[in-house]
Amino acid sequence: MPRKSPLSQVRDFDLKLLRLFKTVVECGSFTAAESVLGISRSAISLHMSDLEKRLGMRLCQRGRSGFALTDEGREVLRSSEAVLVAIEGFRSEVDQMHRQLRGDLNMGIVNNLVTQPMMRITQALKAVRAAGKGVRINLSMSTPGEIERGVLDGRLHAGAIHLVTPLSGLDYSLLYEERSNLYCSHEHPLFERAAEVSAADLGTVDAVVPSYRMCAEAIELHRLLNFAASATDREGIAFLILTGSYIGFLPDHYAAAWVEKGLMAPLSPEHLFFDARLAVATRKGRRSNMILDRFLEALQRNG
């Protein structure tokens, strides 16, 4: 005779436990999750034990060896994420029935866009917030690939990314173009003659290159550089440039503060630059969402 499932009915308390479990996994340990959840490690442990009893299975190993998911834990995490996304979709649809802006706007953004002088994203977020105090905006800074995956699987409503290779499952709305120049720090040997640097000079010094996807123009320019270090984002590139040991490409709006202080200089700025397109991505065939629609409308108005 088959064993009766210990979870015969899903209640609000079970959903709270699943959200707690998801947060613990994202934080990587009970200790790291304390500040995020606002409860003690011992309370988190008790809640996790309650969830494991409710499900009738061990979800994770915890102890001196660290925190690790079991095979069952990984499956429960995957299923719980789908459930929570579905609940959020249901809540959004019910809110729309009441014609009120209430719910979450989950958005991913590539880092270092806040210094972009064309503040279209900021103004659109402002418009969404002004439309109703029941709107909660959740921003996550991540890589373009992770943002695209989040939009595709429903974890994110939209993502602001560089438009390099469009995916068939996403729609893209262009925001603006972003110019990037090649920079060195004031401690670098090329600093004093930055304006006259030639392509031949670039092969004599070390450079940091990004590990994320780039447009064709950027790839061609990076081939002139002597690859000696890599970084997953623009902030990492800036860190390495400021050591005085590397040159690297940065958006001009992001580098401007260091340039004004005399800590960085663009190398041959009339020749060594590329322009990249930035866009907001949304999932094709998505369900209507009043909050997201208001955000996209505000982006168009500020264009």
Tell me: do 37 and 181 sit in the same domain.
Answer: no
pLDDT, tens digit, 9 for 90 and up, residues 200-222: 899 899 999 998 888 899 999 99
CA atoms of 185 and 246, how far apart (whole Å): 8
Of the candidates 83, 111, 138, which is a domain's last residue? 83
- Count: domains in the chain: 3
Tell me: do 273 and 287 sit in the same domain.
Answer: no
Tell me: do 223 and 184 sit in the same domain.
Answer: yes
Answer whether residue 293 is part of any domain.
yes
- pLDDT band with cut points at 50, 70 and 90 for residue 26: confident
pLDDT, tens digit, 9 for 90 and up, residues 221-267: 999 999 999 998 899 999 999 999 999 999 999 999 999 999 999 99
Tell me: do 162 and 241 sit in the same domain.
Answer: no
Chain mean pLDDT for the chain = 88
Specify the higher pLDDT residue, 245 or 38: 245
Q: What is the pTM assigned to this prediction?
A: 0.65
Token pair, residue 297, equals: 């409308």
Of the candidates 61, 83, 105, which is a domain's last residue? 83
Tell me: do 66 and 155 sit in the same domain.
Answer: no
pLDDT at residue 287, rounded to an integer: 81
Tell me: do 246 and 112 sit in the same domain.
Answer: no
Tell me: do 144 and 288 sit in the same domain.
Answer: yes
Contacts for 151 with CB less than 8 Å, ≥ 6 apart? 108, 157, 158, 159, 170, 281, 282, 283
Answer whether residue 3 is part of any domain.
no
Tell me: do 290 and 266 sit in the same domain.
Answer: no
What percentage of the chain reaches a pLDDT higher than 90? 44
- pLDDT band with cut points at 50, 70 and 90 for residue 32: confident
For residue 254, what are the domain limits?
177-277
Answer whether residue 6 is part of any domain.
no
CB–CB of 162/148 below 8 Å? Answer: no
Of the candidates 83, 99, 120, which is a domain's last residue? 83
Torsion of CA 190, 194, 197, 201, to 10 degrees: 20
